[in-house]
Chain A
């Protein structure tokens, strides 16, 4: 999973590395916004700090010219619900008078297994849409990670993209810095969109995206500290983070617990195949012990949309007896089982598991297909009541 920095965090990281950024201040109340705006000088942009795209269209970014407008903007943005995320902080930023908007970015091209640097003169819009509709508008340069980006590659990407000669040098310099950051900081993506060009031909990063490879956080202690501030908005997904589960909340009512991403995805697909709707993806991972299994049930029971649960374990390094213990532990604490649970155990120690499992508390099925069908039936029955 990638850890996403907020815009203000990413801008700080970029600025520290020498990328030109507009003057800005973080604020969390209306007076703070006004104070920041006055210090920077009007006009300023007031920008919601949440991890979603399309903030501007959703009313999360406003340009203001004076104190009254700043108050109104702060009042409407702070506390708003932006695509499911609560806004509690805004970035107050010097408004840049621009003549042109570019895009520069570094990411991992998984097909090639190499980093790729990208430059486009079509900045300021959804770059994925540009990539889809006019792929030739984005210049791409693959980088050999054992050498890093050669200076000629930064120049080539900039010239290939058709960046005007007067600013080519500055844009290549930003691209070079961005690659260095991406490489040093274990970036998954590092992007500036838009990179604004002013009438004086200065370039300045008006937005900043920096996603970090979570698997590398152990060697990025400074960025790891930022993680809490950038946590996900969904309460259940936060709980999953605490339990350290791979969890994705979905819209349906059949809860799903399993081991191994591919098999859990397959279980979701089967719920759909048999006419149900998956409520979540939850992978307990390999070698889960009883307490982890109990936590998984707690997770899924916490989702009020869930009407039934299918528990599918195919043990490799996960042992059936541990799974059965965990299920008993989780369910024996209830006077009444909150939602019907269907269990299917296969693989390592499944016979031992079946001996331990308290079959008064759950429904047991022998095959994955049968278990999923039974859970979907239960979910339908609960819905009809």
Chain B
């Protein structure tokens, strides 16, 4: 079992004719993902990475029964590409693109309240159900199939924690990178809800970072609604206020909100142990599964 993606998922890649889009479409297929089409305006009729390209997502859905899109469209056009996938009523859209203007995402955010399509990202590595399918750019070889649900705001930090788990023989049901931007689709609470409702997920690891209040909201949600044991990690304990640490969302504001301390305290209060190092997160998860 898994959440959101499995080997039945039928994927259309938006931006498949670009360098990144083509490379990762091939990588996804090599991993076993059922990529059925590409969608790029003006490139309909071509074949890329062995799949047909359509001018619109709508056509890819009509002809190839795509139900999920992965978006590798450059930032200037990515907001529009997300709207296209939302308006086509796909089940899931995964936006990998980094650097989408925030006001474009505010408009997308409004649209998300009017549609059933779920958005993951943007500025995220995507998600993977080990052994079945991956959507995005995660390196498949470090993952293993198993019992742990993982959700993270950061790509490479996800890899670090997954590596620690896999090296101990602990596999994952699904790992979701939700992205490091200030405005994202699926957030921690949404992902936690999915894992809580998945009978095969026996433990959850969540990797947050400084900035915003998503981790605090997640802690409150865990306290009320989550019985599956959760272990946490928060990056950015040493970040000074007012300095943005890479991700647009990772900033402790001058007035002191978004600090690592506030997030760690909130999680601890909800019964979630927070590791000082990625290895300690794996220690906690291991102890949950014993």
Contacts and interface: CB of A to CB of B under 8 A. Distances in A.
Given A111-B213, A262-B207, A269-B236, A216 B103 contact: yes
Main secondary structure of the interface of B (DSSP, over half): loop
Interface string B102-141: 1111110111000000000000010000000000011100
Nearest to A219: B76
Interface stretch (B30-38, B220-228, B243-251): B243-251
Nearest to A348: B139
Interface in B231-261: 233, 235-240, 243-250, 253-256
Contacts of A314: 156, 159-160, 163
Contact of B239 (A114, A246, A265, A317): A265
A272 B235 CA distance: 12
Interface string B255-272: 110000000000000000
A108 B106 contact: yes
Interface string A246-263: 101010000000111111
Contacts of A215: 75, 99-102, 248
Contacts of A348: 139
Interface residues of A, number: 54
A316 interface: yes
Contact of A261 (B107, B111, B246): B246
A205 B154 CA distance: 41
Given A215-B100, A316-B125, A262 B238 contact: no
B52 interface: no
B101 A145 contact: no
Nearest to A248: B243
Contact of B245 (A213, A248, A259, A369): A248
A334 interface: no
Contact of B249 (A110, A115, A246, A281): A110
A114 B99 contact: no
Nearest to A1: B244
B209 to A, nearest CB: 5
A273 interface: yes
Given A113-B106, A216-B101, A268-B239, A316 B138 contact: yes
Contacts of B109: 113-114
A259 B277 CA distance: 17
A115 B106 contact: yes
A262 B101 contact: no
Contacts of B149: none
B106 A263 contact: no
A262 B238 CA distance: 12
A347 B161 CA distance: 12
Contacts of B278: 266, 368
A7 interface: no
Given A262-B152, A283-B246, A273 B276 contact: yes
Nearest to A147: B110
A128 interface: yes
A28 to B, nearest CB: 28
Given A114-B106, A131-B255, A265 B244 contact: no
B66 interface: no
A346 interface: yes
Interface string A217-260: 01100000000000000000000000000101010000000111
A250 B240 contact: yes
Contacts of B44: none
A183 interface: yes
14 contacts: A110-B183, A146-B107, A213-B101, A248-B243, A260-B156, A261-B180, A261-B246, A262-B209, A262-B250, A263-B157, A263-B160, A264-B246, A314-B156, A348-B139
Interface of A: 1, 108, 110-111, 113-115, 128-129, 131-132, 144-146, 183, 186, 188, 213, 215-216, 218-219, 246, 248, 250, 258-266, 268-273, 278, 281, 283, 286, 314-317, 346-348, 367-369
Nearest 10 interchain pairs by C-beta: A262-B154, A261-B246, A260-B156, A262-B157, A216-B101, A113-B109, A263-B156, A110-B182, A265-B235, A246-B246
